[in-house]
Amino acid sequence: MNPAHLTTDAELYGGSVARLASLFYDDLAELGRFEPISARDIPEPYRSLLAHNEHMTVKLEASHQCLVDVRVLAEWRDEASYARNSILARQGNGAALQFGIMRIWLADLPATATSQITVERVPLGRVLIQHKLLREVELIALWRIVPGPALRKHLQLAIGQAIFGRSAQILVDERPTVQVLEIVAPAK
């Protein structure tokens, strides 16, 4: 039996970006134009930051040799899930390293982890790791993105400047628990 939040790879590939974005934006164009891309066609350092099955928190901290903080732009809730639109920023100077949207099915997590996530002070990856939850990150799709006004604002991008991102899901104890859209800021 499939829970309501479990989707096929085809649905995730084709609809996860629009579905997640619709929680916070009236039109996907506010974020940008998304084109699927293969890992081999993504330039470095984007490829090593996106084309993997690991937590972005871990990858960003290793790549930038710093800890990251979460800056929540907006949140959304229903009876079963919690979602947030956020920036992962470099600790110290606050520089935006990643724009993201995530949706979490709360019943799949222990109450202590849920509480820590919804307080919005700690990046999701760090919470899941600290709680030693059995988790697996599944890369769904890689994206070349021509940013719309919201992404240009949050990542301080020029008009027409292409960036890259990914769709992924996180399984906790083999259950699809989190859907994410993660878009990395250009290297500066």
Does pLDDT of 13 surpass 80?
Answer: no
Task: For the chain, give every domain's residue range.
Answer: 9-184
CATH architecture of 9-184: 3-Layer(aba) Sandwich (3.40)
pLDDT value of residue 4: 45
State pLDDT tens for residues 126-136.
777 777 776 78
Average pLDDT in the chain: 84
What are the residues whose beta carbons fall under 8 Å from the beta carbon of 62, sequence distance 6 or more?
none
Q: CA–CA distance from 99 to each of 12, 108, 163, 174 (Å)?
A: 19, 24, 11, 26
Report whether 21 contacts 179 (CB < 8 A). no
pLDDT value of residue 26: 93
Does pLDDT of 111 surpass 50?
Answer: yes
Tokens at residue 53, please?
């099955």
pTM score over 0.95? no
Does pLDDT of 141 surpass 50?
Answer: yes
Place of tokens 């992962």: 88
Q: How confident is the model at residue 112 (pLDDT cuts 50, 70, 90)?
A: confident
